Structure formats: C-alpha cells, structure tokens
Amino acid sequence: MVMNVLLNVCLSLGILLHHYCGCWASSIRYNKFQLVPGHRVTRGTEVSRSTQPDVNLVKCARRCLGDCTVFQFDNVNKLCVTFAEKPYEIEMTGDTNWTAAYLPTSFLNAITYGDYTLVFRLQSGKPGLAYATWTDTNRHDDEKPSSETFPLACLRMSNYSSCDRHFRSKIIDNWSGITEVYLSVIKNDSEVAYIKFNGAGTNHYTWCHEHRIRNSTWYPDIVYGPPLRYWTHIVG
C-alpha cells in the first residue's frame, strides 16, 4: 500500500465503510451511528435532502450508505439530510428539532486530509509527553476500543479547542509503503509551518532526517535548527 502520511501539532492559543441493502441490513448500519440528539450540522456539504411523512431516524440512516458517514434528521418536519464530509470535518450546534448522527472513527478506513492520512497529532497543553505517545505501541486511537469514543475535535485541523488528548494511529506500528511524510504546525486554525520528508524506504524512526527534507517553510534553517532536533528526539 502506497501512502502519504500527516503528522500534526495543534498549538492551542486562546473507514471501514460497509455497503448494506435491505431493511435488516440498514438497521444494523443504523446501530453503528453515534447519535447526537438536540444538535444539527452547521458546516457541511449536503448530498441529499428529502422529506416524507413516515420518515424516521432508521429510514434516514438508510439514505446514508456507501461513503456517507454523517446525516441529520429533523423530527418535527420529517426532514433527512446526508453530508459529504467525514465526521471530523463537520461542525454542529444545538437545535432541539434535530438529531445529528455520524459513524465513529472505528468504522472509517483512515483519517484523511486530501492525499494524506493522519498518523499522529499533538495538542499543546494536554496530558502525555510527545515521545511517550509516539512510542506507545499499545495505543491505537483509530482502533477499538479507543476509536469508539475518541473525540472528533482531536482529529481536526480547525475548531479543536475542546480537544483533550493526543492522537496516535496504528499506522505508526505498521509503517509500510510510505512515500511522503508531511509535518504540519497549526496555530489558531491555520497552518503556520510545515516540513515535507521523503518517506520512501523508511521506518517510523528513520524518516525524520535532514537529508530527507523535500520542502519546508523553515528551510534552510530547519536542517540544524530546533524544529528538526525536536522531532528527531520525539521519534527516537
């Protein structure tokens, strides 16, 4: 498997998808959704919108098939809406008429942003040392049981103020076919710095080397500067 991976640091200032058919199978998929009563999606791309007098949450879930992982249902107006985004890409607000629903991380193939798959995410000011998190082979936040309750805010590149922990993917312990490593630093919901490494032929330790840098906003100072020394220490 060829893959580009993303490592992210958020500075806080201030899919295993199944295709089901039939009523019985739709009910099974419905049971996998995490329901958020009293909330609706405020930022997302609508894929479908429909209303029927006899529609309910289960029937609405039947419309959220294939790549769909987020839907919402207005119980008052019997309105069902599905969205294109992944759960960690949407935003919600309180609304008593609505129930939002999404598939937990455990049912997603991967946490992706464009061509990159998120493998590591640090949130400043949160418990846990960076090195201890990176080297903790018993921690896979994209696998059960951790993935079933892992906060969506801790997978985002924006609107992440409620995040309370770091993220570590199983990919770190199964480092294979990596073509590029993208290290991104986010501050106030915007990227402020990045480093791109050539990941071909590396393991989860050897990718972080000055000779593998392809591009960086810190370049050429990155080669001997604090940012590279910091990450070299983290990954061992």
| Local confidence band at 4 (pLDDT 50, 70, 90 cut-offs) | low
Q: Per-residue pLDDT averaged across 116-139, rounded?
A: 87
The residue with greater pLDDT, 211 or 15, is 211
Residues of the chain with CATH 3.50.4.10: 23-102
Name residues whose C-beta falls within 8 Å of residue 220's C-beta, 6 or more positions apart in sequence. Answer: none
Beta bridge partners of 93: 40
pLDDT digits (tens, 9 = 90+) for 10-35: 443 322 222 222 333 334 456 789 89
pLDDT digits (tens, 9 = 90+) for 49-95: 999 888 999 999 989 988 899 999 999 999 999 999 999 999 899 99
Coil, strand or helix at 232: helix
The CATH classification number of 23-102 equals 3.50.4.10
